[in-house]
Structure 1
Amino acid sequence: MRQYTEIRSNEELDQMMNQPLSVVYISREGCSVCHALLPKIQQIMEEYPEVEFGHILADEYEEVAGKLSIFTVPVVMIFSEGKELLRDARFIRVEEFRESLNKMTALLEQ
């Protein structure tokens, strides 16, 4: 499974968001859905080694809720050069996420 960068500060988040293409997964400790979904997202991310991949544990980095307007978990977000391209929360459809990521990586390669 693809490893991720643990994000714990605004500076680390800004650095991740400003990459050519990055995925950020946000979860909480006591969220069973979050824990079940993370390995599926990691598996998809193995197909995209060129895309930066970060994880935020909202229990440890509480300011993330305000910074990104997070109201529920899990959340998966795709960023490119500081801009949010996709946000999917709560009921994340893994195949739709893969398709979106596929389209975005194809656009960057052009």
Structure 2
Amino acid sequence: MKKINELTSIKMTEDFLKDNELSFLYVSTPDCSTCHAILPKLTELLDQYPLIQLGHIDATKVEEVAEKFLILSAPVLILMINNKEYIREGRFVRFKQLDEKIRKIYELYSK
């Protein structure tokens, strides 16, 4: 199963993005049932992409994340490459389509 890096500050988040060329941010809140349902599916999906590192941010503990990444509701999933956003999904995630988007980018990146 994909390792989840718990990011507990905006500084940790910035460092995580700088240290990992391919990074996936998962922003959630503890009282969000959709958030809890999506995380296991996301880790399973990202198992197929070993170069992508997964970071989890609890938006209630790192409130600055909403401003920094323009997040209005949870959950939000963001694929970043070299600290630039390439994919953003929110609330209702269609995993088949998300997988297709990630696969296209990943294949280009890992060549």
Paired residue for 1:8?
Answer: 8
Matched ranges for 1:1-110 at <5 A: 1-18=1-18, 19-110=20-111
| Long gaps (5+) in structure 1 | none
Contact 1:23 1:78 in 2 (8 A): yes
| Long gaps (5+) in structure 2 | none
Q: Which amino acid aligns with 1:54?
A: G
Q: Identity over the aligned pairs, expressed in percent? A: 35
Contact 1:17 1:83 in 2 (8 A): no
- RMSD over aligned Cα atoms: 1.1
Superposition TM-score, scaled by structure 1 size: 0.93
- Displacement of 1:16: 2.5
Q: Which amino acid aligns with 2:98?
A: F
- Displacement of 1:59: 1.2
State the alpha-carbon separation in 1 of the partners of residues 65 and 91 from structure 2. Answer: 16
Cα deviation, 1:3-40, whole Å, max 9, x if unaligned, reads 21001112221122232211111110000000011100
